[in-house]
Amino acid sequence: MPQVYNAIRTADRIILASPVFFSGLSAQAKIMIDRCQAFWCEKYLLKKPIPEGKFGRKGLLLLVGGMEKEDGIKCSEATAKAFFRTINVPEHDTLSFLGVDAKAAILEHPTALKDAYIAGKRLINI
C-alpha cells in the first residue's frame, strides 16, 4: 500500500476501473478503497486533505458488468464517489457498460472504444 498511497497522493488524474459483481466493485478495488481510510482520517480528522496540485485533480470511473439494469452501476458508483471525495478528487466521469458478460465481449460493444477515447480526452483536458 505505500506505493499506492504515494501514487494517489501525487496524481493529478485517477482512473478506477472494475467489473461489477453483485452490484458492487470487485473485491480488489474495494479492498484498495477500504485501505484508503487513512486518507479519510487525514482529511476529516486532521484537516489535511491531499493538495489539489497545479492541474487540479480529476477522476474517471470505468465499470463493466453483465447485468442489464443500472442498479449495479449505481451501487458501484456510490462507493467510488465516496472514494474520490476522500482522496480530494472533486469531479469524475463515469463510463459504464452493461450486458458485457463474456471474455472479450467489450470488443463487440458498438461504442465502447469511442466512448473510452472521449472520456480519456476529457480526463486529460487541463
Query: What does the pLDDT look like over 72-108, one tens digit per residue?
Result: 899 999 999 999 999 999 999 999 999 898 889 898 8
Q: What is the pLDDT of residue 101?
A: 87
Mean pLDDT of 9-22: 96
Q: What is the pLDDT of residue 6?
A: 97
Q: What is the pLDDT of residue 69?
A: 81
Domains of the chain: 2-124 (3.40.50.360)
Q: Are 63 and 32 in contact (CB under 8 A)?
A: no
Q: Which residue has the higher pLDDT, 82 or 53?
A: 82
Strand order in the sheet with 91-97: 24-25, 13-21, 58-64, 91-97
Mean pLDDT of 26-42: 97
Mean pLDDT of 36-42: 97
pLDDT at 126 over 70: no
DSSP summary character for residue 91 = E
Q: What are the angstrom distances between the C-alpha of 29 and each of 35, 63, 113?
A: 10, 11, 22
